[in-house]
Amino acid sequence: MRHPPGVGLAAPQVGVSLQLAVIEDREEYHKKLTAEQLSERQRRPVPFHVIINPRIVSASSCKLEFFEGCLSVAGYSAIVPRAQAVTVEYRNEFAEAKTVDAVGWYARILQHEIDHLAGILYVDRMKARTFTTLENLERVWKDLPASEVQARLKLRG
């Protein structure tokens, strides 16, 4: 997970048939983003933790749309709508019951990893016209808010 780098990895991604994922969004991963981008994404560092048998027990109706990538679909990215906030129940590595209320980018990470555990990839949820290579994302779209990308591609709703 850390080598590419990524912010989450689900057991099925590495051929392990368990309802388990690891998550960590290190501060060093934020250095390429502006203060405005971090604020828009509500992105803050998330310490390493394990989620076992996670389930989303509530999700906000407010959806945020940002480019998202995946270690299973390396080299590509697309805009994916996700709930702005979620509440997730899970067990940690000590089998202790935990609940987390997550917002912004952390909520996105949780939804992405929990999707993996259900056999769903971000390409199943993406806005298809935004699917692009990471090279093209870096060159053309990286510094634009998702709303501007959508306007340029004439995507709405």
Q: Which helix (H) or strand (E) holds 148?
A: helix 146-152
Residue 3 falls within a domain, yes or no? no
Residue 2 falls within a domain, yes or no? no
- C-alpha distances in Å from residue 135, one per residue of 72, 87, 141: 17, 34, 10
Residue 29 falls within a domain, yes or no? yes
Domains in the chain, number = 1
Residue 26 falls within a domain, yes or no? yes
Residue 93 falls within a domain, yes or no? yes
Range of the domain at 20: 8-152
Indicate which CATH number applies to the domain containing 13: 3.90.45.10
Amino acid code (one letter) for 145: P
Q: Alpha-carbon distance 157 to 76, whole Å?
A: 22
DSSP state of 138: I
What are the structure tokens assigned to 57, written together?
């027990």
Q: How many residues does the chain have?
A: 157
Residue 1 falls within a domain, yes or no? no
| Residue-by-residue pLDDT tens, the chain, 157 positions | 777 788 999 999 999 999 999 999 999 999 988 898 899 999 999 999 999 999 999 999 999 999 999 999 999 999 999 999 999 999 999 999 999 999 999 999 999 999 999 999 999 999 998 999 999 999 998 888 878 887 888 765 5
Q: Is 65 a catalytic residue?
A: no
Instruction: Give the pLDDT confidence score for residue 1 in this predicted structure.
Output: 76
Residue from 40, 113, 135, 148 carrying the catalytic annotation? 113
Partners of residue 82 on adjacent β-strands: 64
Amino acid code (one letter) for 4: P
pTM: predicted TM-score of the whole model, two decimal places: 0.93
Neighbours of 142 (CB within 10 A): 15
